[in-house]
Amino acid sequence: MAYPVTHFEVIGKDNKKLRDFYAKAFDWKLTDAPEDYAMVDTGANGHGINGGIGPSRNGRSSVTFYIETEDLKGTLAKVEKLGGKTVMPPTKAGPVELAMFADPEGNVIGLAKGM
């Protein structure tokens, strides 16, 4: 089974500035979501992926991509066996379930179920 990248996320201290920047720079359509988050429609029409822009919860900016999997716990176990570390265990986020891990170099990547 392949694990497609299904979502990206841009997080920063000045959420409004980020939203304005990406909407204007790339003609992305943004839709408000809970917790000052915005869903991004890149207008890719099946050629790319959509994502989100939101506020930082820890004062740091980041860019994350999410890999879809049907088994978050199993995928995290595989990641850990290969030298990665769980950063966020499976967590419900509205209609989806998310988790995060750090790869062996410390890059944080998201996992998603139900995207």
Q: Quick one: pLDDT at residue 1?
A: 66
Total-model pTM? 0.83
Query: What is the set of domains in the chain, with CATH numbers?
Result: 5-113 (3.10.180.10)
Residues 6, 41: Cα–Cα separation, whole Å: 12
Q: Quick one: pLDDT at residue 33?
A: 92
Average pLDDT of every residue of the chain: 92
Residue segments in the chain with a per-residue pLDDT below the cut of 50: none
Q: Quick one: pLDDT at residue 82?
A: 94
Are 53 and 15 within 8 A, CB to CB? yes
- SS3 annotation, the chain: CCCCEEEEEEEECCHHHHHHHHHHHHCCEEEEECCCEEEEECCCCCCCCCEEEEECCCCCCEEEEEEECCCHHHHHHHHHHCCCEEEEEEEEECCEEEEEEECCCCCEEEEEECC
